[in-house]
Structure 1
Amino acid sequence: MKRSQIGLDSEEKKVVRLRFDAGFFFERAVRSLNRHQYEKALKYFRLAVEKEPDNPVNHCNLAGILSELGRYEESNKVLETVLNEVDPNLHECLFYMANNAGNMDNLELAESYLLEYLSRDPYGEYAEEAEDMLYMLSLELGRPPKEPIPVELPLHIQKHEEAYRYLETGNFLPAIDLLKEIIEMQPDYLPAYNNLAQAYYYMGKIEESLELIDQVLKKDPTNLHALCNFAVISDAMGKVSLSQRIIQTLKNLVPMHKEHAYKLALTMGTLGEHEVAYKLFSLLAKVEILPEPDLYHYAAVSAWNTGRLIQARRYWKKALALDQQSGVPLFYLKQVEKHLNHPDHTRPVVSYDYRIPEEKKDIPPSEQLEELYSDPSFTQFLYNLLDEGHDHDKFGAIQTLALLSPEDLEEKLREILLRPGENMQLKKMALFTLQDMNAEPPFMMNYEGYKLQIERVYLQTDFSLWKKKWDQVWDCCLKHMQDASSKEKQKAKALWKKQMENGIPTVHKVEGWAAAIEYLAIKQDQQAVTKTSLAQKYNISVSTVTRYIKQLSSLADEIFDKK
């Protein structure tokens, strides 16, 4: 008799083959994360990467768990792999890398990642958070925030921006290499010739510098940068008459751009034409949106060299509000005070270089800084900046005031929060300063006509969402009060609006606030309503309803005259 295969076939049909693919390991990793089993999650994310090495999501998940475990360098290596080998267009990796660098206290590296992210994806998912983070890093680094260079710029422009940064920091050799490369790429791009001429001049290669200037002036005889460079070099070589002829030409030029005005002003100042320099620098100080300390220094020097000591003091005070680290503004403020107190003393010509003169390198000790800070007129000057200065002046003033800690600073910062139309970044800075001072919350802030009641603010705090959620409270309340009378709806709206005027609190639970408003509005007409029925109606717990009713009760008593 033939043996039946039925039993065997039945058993085979019950076998389920497990597919150990990337999805399987991803699910295991998520399950481990939910159970706070981070090492297990890390193992499964690694396996998911091995199964699908071309899927950038797997790499990002792996980088995320490494970051959670505090293994920031490993996390960044994984993210670099994504950008270099898997998906170069996944720009958000740069934002994650910036956060890792920040957690490692490498602030300059974090800044460079953020700048690259904003350059490549200026409207990306994390653009707003990146800009906020850049601003906070600039405060930590004690200088204005850097601007990203858009990658859509032509390659030679991008390289020129990089070369200019090298020049600004005195790194002439890499600047020269880049500028030579740009001239080979774009032989008609004159700014590269001008900056290369300047770099050669600083390196002592006068002949090479003059040759480049000559090339520029043959192509464009009125080129302002080339003429300025020619005037400075001619003066340095002792060719006074040639330098004076060029200066007269420059005086007749009207700069159309801020960059040209800046170059002309500095050249005029360097060549002793301080009156021309003063007019240009004082104008630039008024129109520049984000002036840096050195611009105020140049304006102060031109004021000093033309005998305007009061104005020089004002500009150096503005520089000091932005820069307490270098000692340069403080050094010159001391010189101003000496000459104001002894006007009979000979007043030397001051150099435009943003540094303390070599022969006077003894930077004033901290006691002198404290002496200036204890001067009530300096504190009042900073308060005036907060009221009347440019936004950038205000940021510097808050930084400096935070160091001084005058008794009425908290009052002043709270006043700034309530100013309508004030810069929101400035208000954020005021909030962070209040928190650092351990000021007692809540802090009331005017945001687009809404009054917010803030217990604590974080870097990622989105005030537009705060306002939106309070609007959602009323929408939710109105939706659930469809069967209520017009009078009850009016009372509910009055209570919602009054809380907004007093200060919108953080809204964690829209339904909780809405239920509490309805309960207190209906109670005013002695209508039968229970917390339990409202909890069921809004699909929340009775304790949640009770908690929000307690927060609103005193306000309801106030507006409904219930004693």
Structure 2
Amino acid sequence: MGKQLKPTQRKATIVPFIQSGEYFFKKGMKAYQLGDLYKAKKYFERAVQYDGNDASFAFQLALVLAELGEYQFSNQWLLKIIHELDETMYECFYFLANNFAYLGLFREAMKYAEMYLMHDPDGDFAEDLKDLLELLKIDREDVENDEQETLIAMQERARYLLEKEAFEEAIVLLETMVANYPEFWAAYNNLALAYFYSGNVQKAQEMVAQVLDRNPGNLHALCNLLVFYYYLRDGRQVDDLCETLSCVYPFFIEHRYKLGATFALVGRFDLAFRWLYHLYKIGYDGDEAFYYWLANAAYYTGHELFAKHIWEKVVTLNPDKQGEEPWALSAPPLDAELQRIIRWFYRKNTAEMLYGLYLFSQSPYKNDIAVSLAIRRYLPAHPLLRPFMDYFLFRMEETLPSYVANIDQIVKILMANNDEIEETLYISWFSVAINAIRDNELFANHAAWAAAVEYVWRRQQGMNVTQKSVAAKYHVSPSTVQKYVKRVKSLLS
């Protein structure tokens, strides 16, 4: 036999996979930015395991622990930073003050608040901390530990009485608390609720006004005020205060729940779902009331399957809720205008359905959640339609891709520059948009898209129009129109 060639042996290329504290820290930051606090906590814990001397790793872990309600563990890391890793990270004092305040240890909270202001009086948190100090100081004199324990016990008793609707008994207790602790705002807020639900509306409003006068921006007081306006049917005040509170991003988990539940109670389910679903995603272990409002907010924003899943938790916690499902309510009747809009949803063309959604967003019924829900049932479960349903029916801008709002802005520009009856123009725009979405188009130049679509549409209608005239109409350059016209034609073809 002849000699055989030996097979060529290739050296394996080894790619080292080096895990370090920095590696896990970056993964933790990514999870944190996505709102997955439990995953972020896991990665930050790995980061400090690899490098226990990096103060920034420990600090981020402490912040996540606080957001998860693990205040004592958060404090352990914050104290470790101050005493062992970096004594100049004065922001640790701010978060220690917040954590101790939430735990009800007001004396400790005040101590760390004052330490922050002593070390960094002009720091980033100085103004916030001055407000926090007003909230924390039950009494400017020393408060003994047993007094603090008594106060916490009284607060829990008052909350229990309110939940049991024993309002008269709650009022007696809360009036005592307000008299003995004149800067303990939680007692004022609970007393306002007790007054209101016992029928003394004037005293309830006076109590909220007193809190907001002495402690401006108190979130619980603002939420209580919103509830009062809602029950008193003051629609203008409800809308104005909802608009104000929609811009608030609370630090404490409890405040996020308060905000979400309040929005749900007053029928702003779009805003309620934002906060309650956020809490659900980060693993918040809520009570029956939490799941009740989450199920309602989910259902009335079109997340029906999720709402039914959550309602199972409600019934498990309280079987008496069986039969109170939000979908058990009958849908409102539809008038002639709504019928006209609904006819667009019977079309097979997706662009025509989008046009129908847009028409609804401009109708008098755009803020009626029940009607929005009824409208949604006429639409197919199409993945392309879903973000537009969330936007046009429920105004959920924050959670949607930017192209949705941009497409809306462009159709508005077209309508502002053309007659309302030219419906095929607007449908043509939605056809262009649908095809462009597949190419990951962001639709940033609103005027250019509008000008190009109108030019192409008018030419298709046999009209004598020039790119120069359309450019002047939309205040863009002719060269820009020419560029976008080529894009529009390619998308339509």
TM-score normalised by the chain length of structure 1: 0.32
Structure of greater relative contact order (alpha carbons < 8 Å, 6+ residues apart) = 2
Higher Cα Rg, which structure: 1
TM-score normalised by the chain length of structure 2: 0.36
